[in-house]
Structure 1
Amino acid sequence: MKKNKFREMLGVLLICSVVLSACSTSSQASTTAAVTTSATTAAAAASSQSGETTAAAPASVAVSDVVTFDEADKAVDWSAETSTAIKLNGTSAAVTGSGAKASGSTVTISAAGTYVLSGTLSDGQVVVDVQDDGDVHLVLNGANIHDNDSAGIYIKEAGNVVLTLQEGTENTISDGATYVFADAATDEPSAAIFSKADLTINGTGKLSVVASYNDGITSKDDLKIVSGTIDITAADDGIVGKDMVAIEDGTVTIKAEGDGIKSTNDTDEGRGFIAIAGGTFTIEAGNDGIQAETELIVDGGTFNLVTGGGNVNGEVKQEEGPGGMGMQRGGMNATSAAGTSADAAATATTETTETGSTSAKGVKAGGDMTVNGGTFTIDSADDALHSNSNVTVTGGEFEIATGDDGIHADALTTIAGGSINITKSYEGIEGANITISGGEIHVVASDDGINVAGGSDETSEAAGGRADQFSASSNNLLTISGGIVNVDAAGDGLDSNGSISMTGGTVSVNGPTMNGNGALDYDGTFNISGGTLVAAGSSGMAQATSEESSQFTISMTFSQAQQAGTLVHLQDSDGNTIMTFAPSKNYQSVVISSPELAQGGSYTLYTGGSSTGSNTDGLYTDGAYTGGTKVTDFEVSSSVTWLNESGVTTANSGGGFGGGGGGGRPQGGGR
């Protein structure tokens, strides 16, 4: 009997939708409903406050909600008196006990029970063929099995099979590069360890799998890993579970030409998912590192993933200019110098023709992806985290270098916690809608840092368009209500092909040094009612927040580019610091919004100088500011105060390459 709570929960929820009163005794369904209601209520509250339509976040889900690791999965004990011993010896085997027989180099297990394998089989196979669906416990007790033309272990039929790696032993299962099948219509087995029944691996020993033909370990049903040290080298995929792959713990090392870990069932509801509670994973894959056909849930673990040869093999893309055209970037002015590596990478890119390239993503889900914890180091040629539906991150630590997007969702990207450090990307964080309510996020991008666009990048590619060429929609929304966000982008810093709503958090943007993009870029509105925002970059496409905002903003445009590291300091008439910021790149425009700005207040803006305060992402706290040059004195009289070196000016509704919403653009900045 399958212990799959995910399928059970789906059934309960379906019944609840028809007869709600009948579900009062289902605590699991009640919890799910409560979480969903909470998420919907929070979304509605944010929508009401911001005046925008906020996408509702998916209900919170953990590994324990979808799968159970029961006593049978964890059973490792056995005794010589109650088990059958199978001693492997070259091209033959000796069986002591009942339920199994040896014929030449083939051992066939035909009855339920415990079987202990030891010794070496140089060219042979262990077959499990239990017709009454009985449960089988296989113990690898120092077993080395190689089959030149088929699977080393072939589980043809059984109820559930538990494969135990005996403590203190090393075991190896391997195959040849070519399989021999009964006829042309047969293509199974197709892995060094191949099971047509539920398969669980446990124990504290070591298992090495060398799969020269195709996959390392495959189950055509459920595949669970409870514990053990597993080392796989595979000609195609490392670990495959059709209905699910569920991992509680263990140390897993995979070097695969195809995918590292994958599930494949895309037809049966509630199946085809991957759930990882913990473990240590080192995966080098030619294609995806971890790929779930439907949902993917990670609660914890340590992950070191390299896919497609790493980020250096990412597809080179040309940045899209306004109106979807490829563009040559124009500098701020003759005094502009190169910015950070993000700008250099963007300037060096050349246009390539889109092809149906192989997916080489770090972690990928066809359905929802939820990451509640874990430590991830991802070096991927394609997206690091990718979902064809929603991505939700509630915790974890991420170090990401990618040849494409750092985090991508075709629908909603939600970040509520964790530490995310994207050191290299084409676009840092992307989704049709993005909601950030917590966590600490650092993004370096050769194009847009955070991009709310709408649509599916894979759909665009399939249609022959440029990857990530999303369609604009008034429904697209970037919502920031908490957390720390720091962006270094050669393209747009915060980019929404809809609107932006900010009610809390701290956001700092080091935007483009070229005039074809802006630190802020949106088509609808940018309503800010809380939090701290500073965005520095070029001036050609500069936008501020919207006039409808309840929190005050200043937008300063300089007549000449300021050098990277030159402080921008804003203080009130009493000398109290509103903000001190050191942009990491050259800049000609800076936007500052703070709860400390007040209607009718008098302020002074300085550049240069130094601060004795503590510097985090260029923002200084505490300490004293000295030695700066006064740029201008001004008074805040409207929600957005536009400044140049002569003082208060007015916003320009056009300018640059066009586009943009209610943030306007400033009049030129000369004295």
Structure 2
Amino acid sequence: MAACGSSKTEEADSGKQSGETVSTTAEITAGSTENTDTEGSDSDSSTSSGTSEGSGISASTEAVTATVEANENGLLDASELFSERDLTQTADTSEAKEITLSDGQDVSISEAGVYVISGTASETTITVDAADDAKIQIVLNGVSITNKDFPCIYVKSADKVFLTTVGDNSLTVSGSFTTDGDTKTDAVIFSKDDITLNGTGTLTITSSDNGISGKDDVKVTGGTITISAEDAAIEANDSIRIADGTITVTASNDALHAENDDDDTVGYIYIGGGTLKLTAADDAIHGTSIVQIDGGTIDITAAECIEGTYIQINDGTINIAASDDGINAAKKSTAYTPTIEVNGGYITVNMGQGDTDGFDANGNIYINGGTIDVTAQSPFDYDGTAEYNGGTIIVNGEETNEISNQFMGGPGGGQGRPGGGFGDGQFPGGSQKPDNFDSNNLSEDFDPDNMPNGRPSDE
């Protein structure tokens, strides 16, 4: 391993349970660098000069930078969610330290700086354990790590970590995760502090549990990321923020999950751009408080595709295929009334058969703009109020200016929900409804049990 000023000591990895094989840990330090990183600030320099000696990475004189724009309707101000360094896809490697991975040799980073890491290794963990004001940038330059039971990247302490990809990289954990003291390290990338993923390369994550787990904020602003996880693909306590990048997820639980057990006012998800393909057995996008989508192309296949307390869609192209609810606003946060608000974008929703809803709000639905194209027996279901103020609504192929709180018939369709009539112009059993039949003006002696083939009782 080539690293200036590094020392090597034989010691048991404190992040692994006792009785495991002792591994070699290389302590890597770098000189302090200017690390101003204020969200929404332009104070960071996004240009760099020089070359990281021997790394094969030329420092860019013109940095590759993602962009994000605030939406005037947004609950969240996107200009305050990302710093300039978050959005810069290239690293200043002029003073970077180089690290080449080796089997069974962990890497410990304890000081602020830029670290260029390359090589292939097994049973190796890159651990960041630095001061709480230290900003660390790790450049993955053709890295492949395969572990059995511990994270490939473990951030124990830092102010913030930037994980920047160059070339093709892969991280895999194949077995049951072990603990680090009281910490349940259950993700391939496990961070106790803020972490940003960016870059111009690719990162493939394969996990027997979670893919990426952040105990504060997890941001993605660039790169191509592919995650296959037996639990959640990306989870965070405070927020998941996506500005750009190509993200492909296959998850046996949720694809994106933001939730803080101690504070239900946070745990939000913001998507401002990028290309996302999310396949999940449970929820594809699950935010406790807010889910806000300002742009991007998002293809979703899941049980429930988008779930949160306040769901706001301002722009973007969203394709939903759901077996439960397409978009579901439920009371998960005490800070907001369950609401679905659509101000723009193009949303296509295709629902499975049975008790499924295209747009399901335990509160209110507001359609102010954009285009909604829903194919469902129950396009809309809400407990509060629904307002149509603009935009285009297409339900089962027909344009409408109403938000009907009812079943709409079709294959498997049947009786209406509260507030609605019978679907598809028929009584249950297929008998045709008379032209003058008014379900809202029934006579006192009307007996639903004597309808053709009998209407199901309420018992």
Decide: shared fold, TM above 0.5.
yes
- Given that residues 516 and 540 in structure 1 are in contact (C-alpha distance below 8 angstroms), is that contact kept between their aligned partners in structure 2? no
**1:349-383 CA distance string (max 9 Å, x none):** xxxxxxxxxxx301110x21101111122111110
- Of residues 398-407 and 244-253 in structure 1, the stretch that sits farther from structure 2 once superposed is 398-407
Report whether the alignment pairs 1:539 with 2:423: no
CA change 1:190–1:450 in 2 (3 A) is same
Structure number, greater radius of gyration = 1
Deviation of 1:71 after TM superposition, in Å, equals: 1.1
Report whether the alignment pairs 1:420 with 2:372: yes
What does residue 346 of structure 1 align with?
Answer: none
**1:467-522 CA distance string (max 9 Å, x none):** x9xxxxxxxxxxxxxxxxxx6654468x6639xxxxxxxxxx994232369xxxxx
Report whether the alignment pairs 1:69 with 2:45: no
**1:411-449 CA distance string (max 9 Å, x none):** 0011112222222x341111122111222222249xxx9
- Given that residues 175 and 211 in structure 1 are in contact (C-alpha distance below 8 angstroms), is that contact kept between their aligned partners in structure 2? yes
- Given that residues 178 and 184 in structure 2 are in contact (C-alpha distance below 8 angstroms), is that contact kept between their aligned partners in structure 1? no
Report whether the alignment pairs 1:386 with 2:328: yes
Letter in 2 for 1:255: T
Report whether the alignment pairs 1:143 with 2:143: yes
Coordinate RMSD, CA, aligned: 3.2
CA change 1:4–1:263 in 2 (3 A) is farther
Please state whether the residue corresponding to 1:384 is helix, strand or coil. Answer: strand
What does residue 209 of structure 1 align with?
Answer: 205
CA change 1:295–1:79 in 2 (3 A) is closer
Deviation of 1:201 after TM superposition, in Å, equals: 0.9
Whole-angstrom distance in 2 between the partners of 1:195 and 1:306: 28
- Given that residues 230 and 252 in structure 2 are in contact (C-alpha distance below 8 angstroms), is that contact kept between their aligned partners in structure 1? yes
Report matched runs for 1:330-341 at 5 Å.
none
Whole-angstrom distance in 1 between the partners of 2:288 and 2:90: 34
TM-score after normalising by structure 1: 0.50
What does residue 177 of structure 1 align with?
Answer: 175
What does residue 436 of structure 1 align with?
Answer: 388
Letter in 2 for 1:372: N
What does residue 52 of structure 2 align with?
Answer: none
Whole-angstrom distance in 1 between the partners of 2:114 and 2:168: 19
- Given that residues 295 and 314 in structure 2 are in contact (C-alpha distance below 8 angstroms), is that contact kept between their aligned partners in structure 1? yes
Please state whether the residue corresponding to 1:362 is helix, strand or coil. Answer: strand
Percent identical across equivalent pairs? 31
Report matched runs for 1:452-471 at 5 Å.
452=405
CA change 1:544–1:265 in 2 (3 A) is same
Whole-angstrom distance in 2 between the partners of 1:544 and 1:151: 61
**1:99-119 CA distance string (max 9 Å, x none):** xxxxx5110001011001111
Whole-angstrom distance in 1 between the partners of 2:84 and 2:291: 24
Deviation of 1:188 after TM superposition, in Å, equals: 2.2
- Choose the corresponding residue for 2:345, options 396, 408, 411: 396
Please state whether the residue corresponding to 2:231 is helix, strand or coil. Answer: coil
- Choose the corresponding residue for 1:377, options 314, 319, 322: 319
Please state whether the residue corresponding to 1:72 is helix, strand or coil. Answer: helix
What does residue 162 of structure 2 align with?
Answer: 162
Report matched runs for 1:123-522 at 5 Å.
123-166=123-166, 169-182=167-180, 186-212=182-208, 214-268=209-263, 270-307=265-302, 360-365=303-308, 367-388=309-330, 389-403=338-352, 404-423=356-375, 425-432=376-383, 433-444=385-396, 451-452=404-405, 490-491=413-414, 497=419, 511-515=423-427
Whole-angstrom distance in 2 between the partners of 1:155 and 1:106: 13
- Given that residues 243 and 273 in structure 2 are in contact (C-alpha distance below 8 angstroms), is that contact kept between their aligned partners in structure 1? yes
Deviation of 1:148 after TM superposition, in Å, equals: 1.5
Letter in 2 for 1:539: P
CA change 1:67–1:244 in 2 (3 A) is farther
TM-score after normalising by structure 2: 0.72
Whole-angstrom distance in 2 between the partners of 1:208 and 1:182: 24
Whole-angstrom distance in 2 between the partners of 1:413 and 1:401: 18
Please state whether the residue corresponding to 2:425 is helix, strand or coil. Answer: coil
Whole-angstrom distance in 2 between the partners of 1:241 and 1:182: 19
CA change 1:119–1:452 in 2 (3 A) is same
Whole-angstrom distance in 1 between the partners of 2:444 and 2:393: 32
Deviation of 1:236 after TM superposition, in Å, equals: 0.3
CA change 1:293–1:266 in 2 (3 A) is farther
CA change 1:418–1:78 in 2 (3 A) is closer
CA change 1:306–1:269 in 2 (3 A) is closer
CA change 1:175–1:422 in 2 (3 A) is same
Whole-angstrom distance in 1 between the partners of 2:221 and 2:423: 46
Deviation of 1:230 after TM superposition, in Å, equals: 0.4
Please state whether the residue corresponding to 2:77 is helix, strand or coil. Answer: helix
Whole-angstrom distance in 2 between the partners of 1:361 and 1:384: 6
CA change 1:543–1:439 in 2 (3 A) is farther
Deviation of 1:394 after TM superposition, in Å, equals: 1.2
What does residue 645 of structure 1 align with?
Answer: none
Whole-angstrom distance in 2 between the partners of 1:541 and 1:427: 24
- Given that residues 492 and 512 in structure 1 are in contact (C-alpha distance below 8 angstroms), is that contact kept between their aligned partners in structure 2? no
- Given that residues 97 and 114 in structure 2 are in contact (C-alpha distance below 8 angstroms), is that contact kept between their aligned partners in structure 1? yes
Pairs aligned (count): 366
Whole-angstrom distance in 2 between the partners of 1:124 and 1:65: 37
Please state whether the residue corresponding to 1:406 is helix, strand or coil. Answer: strand
- Given that residues 63 and 276 in structure 1 are in contact (C-alpha distance below 8 angstroms), is that contact kept between their aligned partners in structure 2? no
Whole-angstrom distance in 2 between the partners of 1:70 and 1:541: 63
**1:606-643 CA distance string (max 9 Å, x none):** xxxxxxxxxxxxxxxxxxxxxxxxxxxxxxxxxxxxxx
What does residue 590 of structure 1 align with?
Answer: none
